[in-house]
């Protein structure tokens, strides 16, 4: 469901910066991974950046909070997750760790990495994400 949501975000043309700003693209990927968080975040995303201070995230689950911290860090914010926290399976489950690591790859290589991952799995990618 998350990959489908992110692919739709990339393809709808509303966020053109996703193709040029890898950090912002990674942040949007992370924010869109949690349905509750995405519901709060999408109206705070503009071409100028993500307005984190305007997000009403009261009641967020721990996984959503970890995604929010990781997203902020992708945009140059102060570190919100330590390596020891990422390595602690009690705090960060395997699925969440995989999402965060994919976000890191996007911040480094851009959203094209999503298509490459699909190709390696033997699937035909849609567009570049």
Q: Is residue 126 part of a domain?
A: no
Q: Is residue 77 part of a domain?
A: yes
Please count the other Cβ atoms lying within 10 Å of the Cβ belonging to residue 2. 16
Q: Are 22 and 106 in contact (CB under 8 A)?
A: yes
Rg over alpha carbons for the chain, rounded to the nearest Å, is 14
pTM for the structure as a whole: 0.85
pLDDT one-digit tens code per residue, 71-94: 999 988 777 889 999 999 999 999
HSE at residue 92, side-chain half, CA atoms within 13 A, is 19
Residues 6+ apart with CB under 8 A from 100: 30, 66, 67, 70, 81, 86, 92
Domain range for 115 is 2-120
Q: Is residue 128 part of a domain?
A: no
pLDDT one-digit tens code per residue, 32-68: 999 999 999 999 998 888 999 999 999 999 999 999 9
Q: Is residue 127 part of a domain?
A: no
Q: How far is C-alpha 82 from the geometric centre of its chain's CA atoms?
A: 17
Q: Is residue 87 part of a domain?
A: yes
Q: How far is Cα 2 from Cα 108, in angstroms, rounded to an integer?
A: 20
Please count the other Cβ atoms lying within 10 Å of the Cβ belonging to residue 24. 23
Q: How far is Cα 16 from Cα 53, in angstroms, rounded to an integer?
A: 22
123 against 65, higher pLDDT:
65
Query: Structurally, how many domains does the chain consist of?
Result: 1
pLDDT of residue 11: 80
Q: Is residue 125 part of a domain?
A: no
Q: Is residue 46 part of a domain?
A: yes
């Amino acid at each position: 469901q998350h990959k489908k949501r992110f692919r739709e975000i990339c393809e709808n043309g509303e966020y053109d910066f996703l193709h040029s700003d890898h950090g912002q693209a990674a942040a949007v990927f992370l924010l869109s991974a949690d349905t509750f968080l995405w519901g709060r975040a999408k109206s705070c995303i503009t071409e100028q950046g993500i307005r984190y201070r305007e997000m009403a995230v009261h009641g967020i689950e721990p996984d959503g909070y970890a995604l929010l911290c990781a997203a902020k860090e992708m945009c140059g914010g102060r570190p919100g997750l330590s390596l020891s926290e990422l390595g602690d399976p009690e705090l960060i489950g395997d699925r969440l760790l995989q999402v965060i690591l994919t976000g890191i790859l996007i911040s480094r290589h851009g959203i094209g990495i999503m298509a490459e991952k699909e190709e390696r799995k033997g699937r035909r990618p849609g567009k570049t994400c």
